Amino acid sequence: MAFRSMATAARQSLKIGMLPADGIGREVLPAARAAIIALGSSIPKPEFIDLAAGFELFTKTGTALPDETVSILQNECDCALFGAVSSPSRKVVGYSSPIVALRKKMDLYANIRPVASVAATAGGKPDVDLVVIRENTECLYIKQETLQQGEFGKEARATRLITERASRRIGDMAFKTALSRPRKHVTIIHKSNVLSVTDGLFRETVRAVPALPEVNGRYDQITIAEQLVDSAVYRLFREPHIFDVMVAPNLYGDILSDAAAALVGSLGLVPSINAGDSFVMGEPVHGSAPDIAGQDIANPLAAMRSAALMLRHLGYGEGADRIEKAVDEVIREGNVLTPDLGGKSKTSEVVNEVVKRI
């Protein structure tokens, strides 16, 4: 994938905010760091800035995302990497997910999640090769919920927000991404047959992006399709080859990309970046996996791939290629893999193998 380059010839160093957060985030983020360091002089000298965030931090301090963390990201860092967060499934008074908050505070409106299998032979064509472009700031993730007593017991309500501005921005990101890919195809995911107002606005706004005057016809070669979200999940498992770039509101994009991970073997393989117009933050798609935290068996490959995506977005394509090639070689050979991929290797062993190949 090619994105607008943020690289500058004069940059002497690359300041990277590191937010391991919770669980296995503290084990996989060092893997991403090791991959970046292994690139040597092909990128500006990396400077890693350790920053605090997460549910475990909240339990100790009452704050999941300190103002200092946000300030340093905004004023000192060129980019960032996020590990994983252990957001509880029950309501915890005063707690809000730091990753959701970061996306909003840093205006990281696009969550870009490529899902691709590794071809059996080097240079071969993967069976699965798609990108989910997830709107990152709205939908039900605005977290406006109420609980009240109704006629038949408790009633829980949630507000869903879809705006023209956010839909247009994510649509433009989807078309830009498709333009850099061989198939140049975008599928708009929605449920406007039921949610005719909210999903209807998303669908109509994204469809209208190629005709915008400022676009000036640059997306004319891209083909557009639509798919209802429920049938999209079905076809994702039956016919993944029909999809190239999938663009979706926040919740649908989250579900679709996690489901797509099953097609390539593990959530531990799927990377992402949270991207805005002036900042990018890499983030593996997997969660904090508290059941395996601290056992040195977490899959580090998604974090390493997220580092590569981040570097590519910044304009350092050669370094990104080296990391991705090394990861693909390790997966293809299959001798050094973590248990989620059927292997018996430790996290540290996989990291060492990838770094050696970089």
348: enclosing H helix or E strand: helix 347-357
Q: What is the number of other CB atoms lying within 10 angstroms of the CB of residue 91?
A: 8
95 tagged catalytic: no
| Active-site choice (107, 127, 258, 321) | 258
| Active-site choice (172, 254, 328, 340) | 254
| Active-site choice (141, 219, 252, 316) | 141
78 tagged catalytic: no
- Residues 157 and 137: beta-carbon distance below 8 Å: no
Residue holding tokens 């190949």? 357
| Active-site choice (78, 172, 176, 191) | 191
254 tagged catalytic: yes
| Active-site choice (45, 143, 230, 277) | 230
Distances (CA, A) of 17 to 11, 63, 165, 324: 17, 18, 28, 21
Cα separation, 120 vs 1, whole angstroms: 21
Cα separation, 315 vs 309, whole angstroms: 10
- Residues 350 and 330: beta-carbon distance below 8 Å: yes
Residue partners of 42: CB distance under 8 A and separation at least 6: 316, 318, 319, 322
296 tagged catalytic: no
258 tagged catalytic: yes
- Residues 48 and 19: beta-carbon distance below 8 Å: no
Cα separation, 117 vs 129, whole angstroms: 7
Beta bridge partners of 189: 227
Return the sign of the alpha-carbon dihedral for residues 322, 358, 271, 16: negative
Name the residues annotated as catalytic. Answer: 141, 191, 230, 254, 258
